[in-house]
A and B are shown apart, each in its own frame.
Chain A
Amino acid sequence: MTFLNIDNVTKSYGAVEVLHRVDIAVQEGEFLVLVGPSGCGKSTLLNMIAGLENITGGEISIKNRVVNDVHPSKRNIAMVFQSYALYPNMTVGQNITFGMEMHGIPKPEREKKLAEVAKLLQIDHLLDRKPGQLSGGQRQRVAMGRALVRDPDVFLFDEPLSNLDAKLRVDMRTEIKKLHQRLKSTIVYVTHDQIEALTLSTRIAVMNKGYVQQLGTPKEIYDTPANMFVASFMGSPSMNLLPATLRASNGGLAAELTGSDGGKLLLNLSQDGPNLRAYLDKPVVLGIRPEAITDPDGVDRNAKNTQPLRNMVHVTEPAGSDTFVETTLSGKACIARMRADVDVQPGQPFDFIVNMDKAVIFDPASEDRITG
């Protein structure tokens, strides 16, 4: 059964359409992350699920009840806001129980739920404080407590970690994930941080300019991005997108690149098919993740199709656990991610190994991925 169904939903402000025909079906217990750059419409979509913004077209239903015209408080949802939105004049305890109070739940029951949630989030000792006296991480917990105590059908998170410092953000990320695994709740989570999206979600909807660019599991999104936007937005450093020409080679297909010395380089593709063949001798874009370009010792042992590539090294950036090596292919900077102790010298040619199992091909005009 589809738990939360977003069916052909659009949103317009006057004549300007900011969300175009969004279709997402969320199953019970799923952790859906809406990710995209600012202005992509992800927060608007979340607010529409919450009922904080009107739905221009289409329907949103929760448990088979269309909620388009239902007041936010009656949709049985809870939301954690970016700024936490804790009521400054109330104590932590009052903040958490305010919603239950508004729904006329008797005090003993409120107290019981409060104690449960406070224990779960380890904020029992803070219940009598005011939000102003709490640290960022504590406020975050209180905001989550306020959502948890409602026992909603769907949890909505609006960039909940963006106001925390880097270290705390990683900690809280883990905690949210643990909480989801324990409670098996249904979550829709908005973020602009692709790492958060990849680590937390069971499914990701990558959005841009009001369109859902791709909806899929983190692995699908990462390995087979639907288009060049998804390819470059997800992953850090982002996927190398290199202009190439598709050639026939040894009965298969190969991408022809220009090396830093101006010579042609051929990389045999792992995939083949009629769709790809239609691009023979035409320009394409070869997409390849930095970690698929390594030194000979760093090759993935499971890789079936690895190709050598000798090219000039421009810059090396040791980053502790990895070393990033920049070279130029087809006139564009190309990043390779290598082991930390690899011996690479800037200004010298180097023998790269490319794991072509991980390569993807895009149409340069439509920017969509060409499948098989």
Chain B
Amino acid sequence: MARSVRAPRDLRTVLQDILPKLVLSPSLAAMLVFVYGFIIYTVFLSFTNSKMLPSYDLIGLDNYVRLFGLSAWTTALINLAIFASLYITICIAIGLLLAIFLDQKIRGEGVLRPIYLYPMALSFIVTGTAWKWLLDPGIGLENTMHLWGWDSFKFGWIKDRNYAIYTLVIAAVWQSSGFVMAMFLAGLRGIDNEMLKAAQIDGASNWQLYRRIVIPLLRPAFLSAFVILAHLAIKSYDLVIALTGGGPGRATELPATFMYSYTFTRNQMGVGAASAVIMLMGVAAIMIPYIYAELKEQK
């Protein structure tokens, strides 16, 4: 038998092998520079005595020590804790309730669903503007109630240091709860109907059906909702700016507004960078396990 001749690799075959990597490389480079490079740069700045401009004098953990010594930062963290826990809990509660109710073969679901969802198409600036005046005691809800004859009605949270943070919750819940509803609805629609029939034949009441079977099955939706809402809460910036501007006083200061004002208006770039790093760590603590699990599951 004649010895086989080895056909050479032609140019096109070689090109086909490297093309995918070539096409992906600009994105990879952009991501490495603009995301991960920038993160490293900001982390670096957080160890320097940068003020108005970046400086390269390392001062160790001083910025972090100063940051946690600042009452404004502590206030921002406490506010975030209050805001995030209420925002997440209420959004999930409303979202789940609406999703379960909408899933009862409701007439007009096609009309109701977009009504619940449209706020999420809006900018937080628009949401903030709308709620700012709605909650304003002078011209908003309080005024209306007074005009309708309910004179004792008081609703001045937005002007009240102790309650302003809750107005943030109201506006944020208004914007996001419809989206959470959609996530739960998708989860509900994904549940096998035969399983529900089997449970009914087993004698489960509607309440038991939801408590024991449906809601446990929605675990992935709960997890996704939590992750998304939690990272939105940490990133919340626009809404505060539009609704309260961080006020009254510092009553609605959040880490995001703190970072911006310390970096760009108070020229404390080192402290600002340190606060950004803490925010990133907060998001990473939530996102990395989630992403890891997602990628593993897909493998």
- The residues of A with any CB-CB pair to B shorter than 8 Å are 1-2, 5, 59, 61, 64-71, 74
Contacts and interface: CB of A to CB of B under 8 A. Distances in A.
A2 B1 contact: yes
Given A66-B4, A70-B7, A70-B9, 20 more contacts: A2-B1, A5-B4, A59-B4, A59-B6, A61-B4, A65-B4, A65-B5, A65-B7, A66-B6, A68-B6, A69-B7, A69-B8, A69-B9, A69-B13, A70-B13, A71-B10, A71-B13, A71-B16, A74-B10, A74-B13
A66 B10 contact: no
A66 B8 CA distance: 9
Interface string B1-22: 1111111111011001000000
Nearest to A54: B17
5 contacts: A2-B1, A61-B4, A65-B5, A66-B7, A74-B10
A120 B14 CA distance: 37
A70 B7 CA distance: 7
Contacts of A74: 10, 13
Interface string B248-268: 000000000000000000000
Contact of B2 (A59, A64, A70, A71): A64
Contacts of A1: 1
A158 B67 CA distance: 64
B7 A64 contact: no
B21 to A, nearest CB: 15
B4 to A, nearest CB: 4
Contacts of B7: 65-67, 69-70
Contacts of A64: 2-5
A306 B7 CA distance: 57
Contacts of A67: 7
Contacts of A70: 7, 9-10, 13
A175 B10 CA distance: 38
A5 B10 CA distance: 21
Contacts of B3: 64
* Across the A-B interface, the 8 shortest Cβ-Cβ residue pairs: A69-B9, A66-B6, A71-B13, A61-B4, A64-B4, A70-B7, A66-B4, A65-B7
A67 to B, nearest CB: 6
B285 to A, nearest CB: 32
Contacts of B5: 64-66
Nearest to B1: A2
B169 to A, nearest CB: 47
Contacts of B13: 69-71, 74
Contacts of A71: 10, 12-13, 16
A311 B34 CA distance: 80
Contacts of A5: 4
Contacts of A68: 6
A5 B5 CA distance: 12
B18 to A, nearest CB: 13
A3 to B, nearest CB: 11
Give the one of B4, B8, B10 with max A CB within 10 A.
Answer: B4
B19 to A, nearest CB: 12
A59 B10 CA distance: 17
Nearest to B6: A66
Nearest to B13: A71
A25 to B, nearest CB: 9
Contacts of A59: 4, 6
Nearest to A69: B9
Contacts of B10: 70-71, 74
A66 B7 CA distance: 6
A74 B8 CA distance: 12
A69 B4 CA distance: 14
Contacts of B6: 59, 66, 68-69
A74 B10 CA distance: 10
A74 B12 CA distance: 11
Interface string B47-68: 0000000000000000000000
Nearest to B5: A65
Nearest to A67: B7
A309 B1 CA distance: 53
A1 B4 CA distance: 11
A71 B14 CA distance: 9
Nearest to A66: B6
B23 to A, nearest CB: 18
Nearest to A59: B4
